[in-house]
Chain A
């Protein structure tokens, strides 16, 4: 059974700091891994999608890496800003229960960037 864990559960940093969010998963047989951002009470915004054959993806100040064999992914945020404050969710997609369509999510890391 696939399980996704995100550490830490919460993180508070001063503005301008570089930071790393961690995600681990128990079953390496995945199609891809996706990082999302969720603002309080809102839906999910897709940040980066890494296919199983890829090692990393970059978008602006964000860089996500994937090490499928060790079951780990990191999301690196450079020069953090107060507007980055949100909950960051990691999700993997595989063949679970006969369905290829569903994402398995971690519980998220709540990030607070202080001005």
Chain B
């Protein structure tokens, strides 16, 4: 079975641009979460979606937004990119939003902002 997939794998943008990152969860999983991992740090929570509704939001500016589609895939959008947005963006999926379930992570999208 395919795991969590993310696209693109790498991306280079310039300051002020907009970026869209995509995630497909494991088949049958209805919850998707997004994390940002800056070099040398642990991942930080950005958003969780379940059944197309936002279930949680981390401490990130309004430049970050996300949505989940009827097929449970998800997009993360970042506007007005800053140099500090350079990071590995990770998507995780789980069957439901129940806190006792394991989250399975994808390979990530590495974003470089110049």
Is B31 among interface residues, defined by CB-CB distance under 8 A?
A: yes
Binds B, one of A67-75, A76-84, A97-105: A97-105
Q: Is the CB of B105 within 8 A of A44?
A: yes
The 8 Å CB contact of B56, one of A36, A41, A46, A99, is A99
Chain A interface category by residue count: 20 to 34
The 8 Å CB contact of A106, one of B40, B42, B55, is B42
Which residues of A lie under 8 Å from residue B41 when comparing CB positions? 107
Which residues of B lie under 8 Å from residue A31 when comparing CB positions? 99-100
Which residues of B lie under 8 Å from residue A97 when comparing CB positions? 56-59
Contact with A along B80-94 (1 / 0, CB 8 A): 000000001010100
Is B65 among interface residues, defined by CB-CB distance under 8 A?
A: no
Q: Is the CB of B102 within 8 A of A34?
A: yes
Chain B interface category by residue count: 20 to 34
Q: Is the CB of B42 within 8 A of A101?
A: no
Which residues of B lie under 8 Å from residue A115 when comparing CB positions? none
Contact with A along B5-30 (1 / 0, CB 8 A): 00000000000000000000000000
Q: Is the CB of A101 within 8 A of B104?
A: no
The 8 Å CB contact of B97, one of A91, A101, A108, is A101
* Given A43-B108, A46-B105, A49-B102; A103-B43 close (CB under 8 Å): yes
* 7 tightest Cβ-Cβ pairs between the two chains A and B: A99-B56, A105-B42, A102-B45, A101-B48, A44-B105, A31-B99, A100-B99
New A-B pairs, 5, CB < 8 Å, besides A43-B107, A101-B99? A44-B105, A99-B57, A100-B56, A101-B55, A106-B42
Q: What are 17 A-to-B residue pairs whose CB atoms are below 8 Å?
A: A31-B99, A34-B102, A43-B106, A43-B108, A44-B43, A44-B105, A45-B105, A91-B42, A93-B99, A94-B99, A97-B59, A99-B55, A100-B97, A101-B45, A101-B48, A101-B55, A103-B43
